[in-house]
């Protein structure tokens, strides 16, 4: 157990739907990062939050959004889902000023 908890582990949904992925960071970590892992793209950075505020944005689609709550857990919202959104979504956390990320086990999203 890495200390980073992601739920659900698996999600199957239809095109056009909306889903929410949840992440609880490791205790003491203030930064949360979301990454997408698909067949041809490797680990693609989506977005980072630090202590409740957006810190950095990567190749995140406008249909996707995220937030980090006061208790530091984070949610990634994916809407108007398309087949191409099927992927593994990983959350990672790091300590303040830390660059060594701890990853969760991921959520496998399948859009049918």
Partner 1 sequence: GESVGLHLPTLSVQEGDNSIINCAYSNSASDYFIWYKQESGKGPQFIIDIRSNMDKRQGQRVTVLLNKTVKHLSLQIAATQPGDSAVYFCAEDSGNTPLVFGKGTRLSVIA
Given the rule CB under 8 A, which residues bind partner 1?
2, 4, 33, 35, 37, 39-40, 42-43, 45, 48, 56, 58, 88, 90, 92, 99-106, 108
User: Can you tell me the distance from the alpha carbon of 12 to that of 19, in angstroms, rounded to the nearest whole number?
Assistant: 10
Among residues 6 and 19, whose Cβ is nearest to partner 1? 6
Among residues 16 and 96, whose Cβ is nearest to partner 1? 96
Write down the least CB distance from residue 18 to partner 1, Å. Answer: 23
User: Can you tell me the distance from the alpha carbon of 112 to that of 97, in angstroms, rounded to the nearest whole number?
Assistant: 40
User: Can you tell me the distance from the alpha carbon of 98 to that of 31, in angstroms, rounded to the nearest whole number?
Assistant: 9
């Amino acid at each position: 157990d890495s200390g980073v908890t992601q739920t659900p582990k698996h999600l199957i949904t239809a095109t056009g739907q909306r889903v929410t992925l949840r992440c609880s960071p490791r205790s003491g970590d203030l930064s949360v990062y979301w990454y997408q892992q698909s067949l041809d793209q490797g680990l693609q950075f989506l977005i980072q939050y630090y202590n409740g505020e957006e810190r950095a944005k990567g190749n995140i689609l406008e249909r996707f959004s995220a937030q980090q709550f006061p208790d530091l857990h984070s949610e990634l919202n994916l809407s108007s889902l398309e087949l191409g959104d099927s992927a593994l979504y990983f959350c990672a956390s790091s300590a303040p000023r830390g660059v060594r990320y701890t990853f969760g086990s991921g959520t496998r999203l399948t859009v049918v």
